[in-house]
Structure 1
Amino acid sequence: MSSFFAPPFGPLNGIHYLIQHHARPLKASSAVDLLEALIPLYAQAFLLLSPSFLGPSTRLLRATLGLVGILSLTNQFMSWRVVPPGANALNTTLGSLYVHTVLKYAWFALAPGATDTLMFRAGRKRRSRAFAALDLCLNSRYTYVEFEPREEESEKAAAGRRSSRSPSPPDRPTFPYTLSTASRAPVVMRHLLLGFLQILAADTLLAIVRAAGPSTLGDPNSAQGKIATFLATTGFEVIPGIIDPCGLNENRVELRQSVIEVLITLALGAAPYLTMNGLYRLAAGLAIGSRLWEVESWEPDLFDSPWAADSLLDFWRRWHGINKHDHALLRDTLLDVAGLPHTPFLTIPITFIISGLLHIVYQLGMNPVPAATKVGGFFVACAVGTFVEYSVYRATGSYVGGIIGRVWTWSFLYLAAGRYIVDAWVDAGVAATRLAEDDWADALAVWILKYVLVPYAK
């Protein structure tokens, strides 16, 4: 029984072992094999967009395609991994894409036939069935562009919407109502520029962490307590060239250990957000530039301004639409199978438990592996914090919010829960990740550590 729960993955240790010992280095030519594993997904989507009366009759064929696709994709997932130690974190990306696609295969297999739902129609009136199927495969947030006025709109408002060809508000309230009428070229440039800047910012944050503690934080090898060791051996002086230009140490300003700890958590927490959003922006630029997608269909961001959150409930509502859909799909299925009610007292903890388990599964291809107890601890802590907020609402009738809500939310994320997952990442060498083979991020990091936050040995 003890071997069943043996680290790092318990019952999945066999899969982890096979990936580590038999997977080949991922390279550009691997894309062909990976795309072959996605052909059944496209076939499923094409069948889903059959006339509504044929939808249920295609379920058996879609289920067969789903099984073939999942087996093929699993084989590809176990056959490739990112080998360089400095890129180990990218194996998490492969794991998350694998899990997301498996869930999509399962969903497309079991859906009764969804041509009439908002999620699936995605501008069908302006698109061929073949392209609508491609959009259904790629459009993981299920945003849509609707060009017909809603019945409840006034004639004047409807005429205005028809003239601007703007999209109707998305079904999910977290996506902003956009009235974009800009020409295609400037929008493409905006997406590409934002994508480049966000990835550069993420790479710079990681470069600062690597350069500040090359033998601790930036070490790609696994070791326990890297942050504690770094804090015990390294201090930081703030802009010494301005505060103490003569080097007399009379006005020297040093950062407290607690502040350094928060900055490390902030940097490593912001880097994944910037990376994912940057990649989404680059994909948006390419998609809009291809002239196959409407400008408006890529306007809703991958994230809904999570920095503006004033409660934990608000933060997770704004965070990562793709994962949010996957977790909700699994949660609702689990509750339905168990015959349990969909009440917040059940949906909140189950959502975070599923999220934590999936994030651990994402790491199957990693070596070293972040500690599952710490990764899971982050999501358990967030479940407790969110449950406390909901309990306050039940007791007072008011949700946490405003200035007090912001202080509570960000203190909880960066001073409490966030340390669990950041400790796990740093101890596994994730901070050594390099997103791009260029010198820009390193040059920015060197400048910041020379003039703004200057490290010194204690």
Structure 2
Amino acid sequence: MAEPLSLSLGDIGRLWDTLFPAPWGPLNPVWEHVQRTAAPLDFDHFSLRQWFNYALVPFIPAAIMAYLVIGGPKDRLARETREVRIALGIVGISIATSAYLNNRFYGESDDVRARSTEAALKHVLELIPDLRWCCYNSMFGILYWQLVARYASLALVKEPIVDPYMGRGRPRWVAALDLVMNQRHIGLGNVGLDSGNGPDNKDVKLLSPGGKGKAPEMPHIARHIQHWRRFPRPTSRWGSSLRHLYKTLALYTIMDTVFSLTRAIGPHAIAPPGGLPLIEKYGHIMAGWLAESEGVLFPSTLRLPLPKWLMSTFMELIPPLAIWGFLSVWYHFVAFLCIASGYWEPEVWDIDVFDAPLKSTSLMQLWGRRWHQVFRHTFVDATESVLRIFHLPNNLVTFYPLIYLFSGLLHAMGEITADPVPRFSHVMAFFMLSGVGCSLEIAAKRILGIRTRGLLGWCWTWTWTAVTGEELTPGRLVANAWIDAGMGACSFFPDQGVGQYLAPFIMKHVYMIYHVPPADVTPAITSAAQALLATPSVVESLAEVISSVAESTRAALTAATAAVTETLAAVAEPSAVLEAASEVAEVLSTEVAVAAAGATEAMAEAASEAVFESAFGAVSETVSDVFAENSETLATTLASAVVDTAATAATLTKAAVENLSTVATAVAEAAEISTVRFITVDSVPAHIVEAALATASAAMSASLEESTATS
């Protein structure tokens, strides 16, 4: 009887990587073309012409289309220009695509386009990008796809779009610009296939301007939670303008401080040049940062230890904080400009882009009302189009999964100009799991009559969305994807703002994160090896010695493996021996391989001559060969042999480290506590420095004693 087919998460991941090779699967040629040919964009080298072509020109056809389609139900220009709008839509999408794929944010100024194709791509992919600007690739990428959807919507809509404020004297060109910016369709009702935004747009009436003691009419605004406020918002033009200006400055200060703190507390992991070594060692930057960092609350007074779960929560909140901050700052800034210009009414901008997301008591409320609704119309139009094209029913099983599928695609595909690239599968999984949660809430209401609300609803919402801990929780998935791609190192615009002055105060009096790497003698060995390699004669003799070490290591490992096999066979059945050894070897295989590869890499980087690099590589190959030949029975002997090999390597460097004090100094320098430019070494707690130095000295002392005995 055939065994049932079973797939683990690891199997699914490997299958995905095979079918869709990182980072973009079948779209890899597009991504490589962008990395090779795109012109650099950053805020350090500002080019007015480049920014004009990148950020303004793609919107011009959209503004013309909006001017044509806006108007009353009987507007002739809006009714008779659909073919023109479709042609303008095609032109606009072409212009936007060209601008998007030919420009990207990165801080490298080399003109790699002058090189050959392969050399240029190799050069770009080997560069460590300036991660301060990597998040802007994502932000403008998502904006590009939203603009493409906007072009399609304005081109295909059949009926004129009624702007109710034209009844109060709003000029047509202002109404057109408002239609381009008003992605949430506030006051417009249902436009196109969207049927959940109030009355149909054709039924929206023009507002009366008022007069003779009669207040002006206000539009109906759907999907907005009404709030009671102790202090009502100002309704005058200048009062509203000042409110938005205050919000802009306050939010900018908060976000610039948050990003300054993020770069400061993790320069070894998050800030440039990034945490690639942590990804290789721990799987993710966040996991490595947590493992190699210690936090202190109120460092200038109480000096309380900062719990790891609190550090993890802070890191996991970086992506949503970045989204909230960017959108909110720009929304209030544009609102200030529009209201102060005198062409827009204050109440048009009174509904903030976010509505207290932390108060959400259900996933439906979070994603449907309190989180920004900028993309809602796009997702609804796309979902309704698919359902109609394939004649599918609009129900719980089809509508919400498709909505969140398009949401995931928008956010994932927005990264196609990024480098590093967030993991596509992790970003998609976050949004798809959010859709699953919404479907569960609706099913519970329809089948069981249970409504998600109150304190239990709040706990459910944030447990599902952003709970820290396990890899498969949605919040950790998307946080790992974006932080691994350098989002934690991004900089708010303008760079080096007020946050750089507030961050030191917070780190001195509120909390501080210290880099405490694990004790490792490799930096000292590497430093000593560099000193040895300065003499050519040493290199030649070293190659001969390492060759003999490789042969003796092979013989020692083979003999040890045979001894272990014979001993185990004497006390247990052969099948049990093989089974137990196989289980142990499987656990150790990854750790041993990583340890051997890490040692080889460190020594190879230290070597300035190819002889040493190839000679020490032979040791690693020997270990790998023996492990492959005896993988079922090697077990703990192999781990001991690797330690012995490291001790032998330490012996070869003994001539360069004549006394323990020199070694301790080298290790202390390699494991020096990471600080930022505005934090002095004196601010590092003395017990952390002493512990790091003591651990490093003890480790090297033990290594030297073992190496002396071996030699």
Shorter-chain TM-score above 0.5: yes
Q: Write the mapping of 1:117-196 to structure 2, written as runs, cut at 5 A.
A: 120-144=163-187, 163-165=214-216, 167-174=218-225, 182-196=235-249
238, 243, 264: which one aligns with 2:297: 238
State the Cα distance separating 1:379 from its structure 2 match: 1.1
Change (3 A) 1:36 1:267: closer
Residues 273-325 of structure 1 show CA distances to partners (whole Å, capped at 9, x for unaligned) of 12211111011001111111111111111122212211111100121111122
422, 444, 448: which one aligns with 2:479: 422
335, 346, 358: which one aligns with 1:307: 358
- Secondary structure at 1:237's aligned position in 2? strand
67, 78, 85: which one aligns with 1:46: 67
Change (3 A) 1:457 1:38: closer
Amino acid at match of 1:427: D
Change (3 A) 1:423 1:265: same
Amino acid at match of 1:28: L
Name which of structure 1's ranges 48-57 and 369-378 shifts more when overlaid on structure 2.
48-57
Which residue does the alignment assign to 1:151? none
Which residue does the alignment assign to 1:336? 388
Match status 1:33 vs 2:86 = no
**Larger gyration radius, structure 1 or structure 2:** 2
318, 325, 328: which one aligns with 1:277: 328
Residues 371-392 of structure 1 show CA distances to partners (whole Å, capped at 9, x for unaligned) of 1121112112212222222222
- Secondary structure at 1:344's aligned position in 2? coil
Match status 1:368 vs 2:427 = no
State the Cα distance separating 1:87 from its structure 2 match: 0.7
Q: Write the mapping of 1:253-292 to structure 2, written as runs, cut at 5 A.
A: 253-292=304-343
Residues 17-55 of structure 1 show CA distances to partners (whole Å, capped at 9, x for unaligned) of 222211112343224324333222122112213644564
Q: Is the 8 A contact 2:53 2:99 kept in 1?
A: yes
Q: Counterparts of 1:79 and 1:422 in 2: how far apart (Å)? A: 28
Match status 1:91 vs 2:149 = no
Q: Larger RCO: Structure 1 or Structure 2 (Cα < 8 Å, ≥ 6 residues apart)?
A: 1
Q: Is the 8 A contact 1:49 1:129 kept in 2?
A: yes
Q: Counterparts of 1:133 and 1:122 in 2: how far apart (Å)? A: 12
State the Cα distance separating 1:403 from its structure 2 match: 0.4
Amino acid at match of 2:252: I
- Secondary structure at 2:343's aligned position in 1? coil
State the Cα distance separating 1:355 from its structure 2 match: 0.7
Q: Counterparts of 1:319 and 1:108 in 2: how far apart (Å)? A: 25
Q: Counterparts of 1:125 and 1:159 in 2: how far apart (Å)? A: 8
- Secondary structure at 1:76's aligned position in 2? helix
Change (3 A) 1:100 1:175: farther
Identity of aligned residues (%): 28
State the Cα distance separating 1:125 from its structure 2 match: 4.5
Q: Counterparts of 1:194 and 1:166 in 2: how far apart (Å)? A: 27
State the Cα distance separating 1:443 from its structure 2 match: 2.3
Q: Counterparts of 1:222 and 1:69 in 2: how far apart (Å)? A: 39
Q: Is the 8 A contact 1:73 1:98 kept in 2?
A: yes
Q: Is the 8 A contact 1:202 1:271 kept in 2?
A: yes
Which residue does the alignment assign to 2:496? 438
Alpha-carbon RMSD: 2.7
> Structure 2: which 5+ residue stretches go unaligned?
1-15, 42-46, 108-129, 190-208, 468-472, 517-711
Which residue does the alignment assign to 2:89? 66
> Structure 1: which 5+ residue stretches go unaligned?
147-157, 245-252
State the Cα distance separating 1:112 from its structure 2 match: 0.3
Q: Counterparts of 1:122 and 1:220 in 2: how far apart (Å)? A: 51
Which residue does the alignment assign to 1:205? 258
- Secondary structure at 1:19's aligned position in 2? helix
Q: Counterparts of 1:102 and 1:122 in 2: how far apart (Å)? A: 26
State the Cα distance separating 1:15 from its structure 2 match: 2.3
Which residue does the alignment assign to 1:221? 274
- Secondary structure at 2:159's aligned position in 1? coil
- Secondary structure at 1:169's aligned position in 2? coil
Which residue does the alignment assign to 1:249? none
Q: Is the 8 A contact 1:240 1:452 kept in 2?
A: yes
Q: Counterparts of 2:266 and 2:217 in 1: how far apart (Å)? A: 49
